[in-house]
Amino acid sequence: QQPVQSPQAVILREGEDAVINCSSSKALYSVHWYRQKHGEAPVFLMILLKGGEQKGHEKISASFNKKKQQSSLYLTASQLSYSGTYFCGTGDPRSNTGNQFYFGTGTSLTVIP
């Protein structure tokens, strides 16, 4: 039930765009995106809720396709600081039997000058 991300790794030049995809085998209640730099803890980027609300703190956009159980993260005009591993995450607090918060398989993104 762990979301699958694609691509697994990508190398960009500064200024290029990238798209990272996250696919789940079950219906998504919400999708989170985090970035983790080497040796550091994950940092929140964005959350997309099933009702359409989005909460984010950076100039990064994302989409949430409930029908396809997919989300995509769009990184435009990439900067060196965008390098890191990106994780999508999903959980559903409504389950009466308890539910896990699943992080995706991760996408390593490297931006080079």
Mark residues 5-44: x for contact with other proteins by CB under 8 A, - for none: ------------------------xx-x-x-----xxxxx
| Cβ within 8 Å of residue 58, ≥6 positions away | 45, 46
Say if CB 110 and CB 11 are below 8 A apart: yes
Say if CB 83 and CB 9 are below 8 A apart: no
How far is residue 46's CA from residue 9's CA, in Å, rounded to a whole number? 20
Exactly one of 4, 16, 21, 92 binds other proteins (CB under 8 A); that residue is 92
- Nearest distance from C-beta of residue 14 to other proteins, angstroms: 27
Q: Which two tokens stand for residue 68?
A: 């396809």
Positive or negative, the Cα torsion across 3, 4, 6, 8? positive
49 binds other proteins (CB under 8 A): yes
Exactly one of 6, 16, 21, 91 binds other proteins (CB under 8 A); that residue is 91
Window 55-74: residues binding other proteins (CB under 8 A): 55
Exactly one of 90, 107, 109, 111 binds other proteins (CB under 8 A); that residue is 90
Q: Which two tokens stand for residue 106?
A: 């991760």
Residues forming contacts to other proteins in the complex (CB under 8 A) are: 2, 29-30, 32, 34, 40-44, 47, 49, 55, 87, 89-93, 98-106
